[in-house]
Amino acid sequence: MSIIGVGIDVAEIDRFRAALERTPGLAERVFVEQELYLSSGERRGIASLAARFAAKEALAKALGAPAGLHWTDAEVYVETSGQPRLRVKGTVAARAAELGVSSWHVSLSHDAGVASAVVVAEG
């Protein structure tokens, strides 16, 4: 296995909240339903959403930031162990296959008003 790409991104949580508030439907264009809501049906907290957004930006960077990727073709989810993971389909899966990506590593964090993510594409 070798590293095909690495991406990192940060999102200021208050700025991300403001963007969601001023742009109706933005959350639904960026996230799949499972990212927006907890299993209880409650909306996920803004810091968690900002970290997921940062992960999608980092994912795009790990793939070389090509045009035409759809936000909802990448899903950030968390295993029962607490480890974050990526699930890709469509445009993101096609670009990953083109580059030979066979696995992903993702790390999320949020503290002091900033959410961050690192994504490593391995093949």
Integer Rg of the chain from CA: 14
- Single out the residue of 84, 77, 1 nearest to residue 35, CA to CA: 77
Residue 109 to residues 8, 22, 50, 90: CA-CA distances in angstroms?
11, 25, 10, 27
Model's pTM, two decimal places?
A: 0.94
Boundaries of domain holding 90: 3-122
Sheet arrangement for strand 114-122: 3-12, 114-122, 103-111
Tokens matching residue 61: 């960077």
Residue 62 to residues 9, 15, 19, 75, 117: CA-CA distances in angstroms?
11, 24, 24, 15, 12
pLDDT value of position 115: 98
Number of domains in the chain: 1
> Residue holding tokens 């790990």?
62
Is residue 122 pLDDT above 90, yes or no? yes
Is residue 39 pLDDT above 90, yes or no? no
Q: What is the mean pLDDT of the chain?
A: 96
30 and 53 in contact (C-beta within 8 Å)?
A: yes
pLDDT value of position 85: 97
58 and 118 in contact (C-beta within 8 Å)?
A: yes
* CATH number of residue 30's parent domain: 3.90.470.20
pLDDT value of position 1: 85
Q: Tell me the per-residue pLDDT of 48-105, one tens digit each, with 9 for 90 and over.
A: 999 999 999 999 999 999 999 999 999 999 999 999 999 999 999 999 999 999 999 9
Tokens matching residue 71: 């936000």
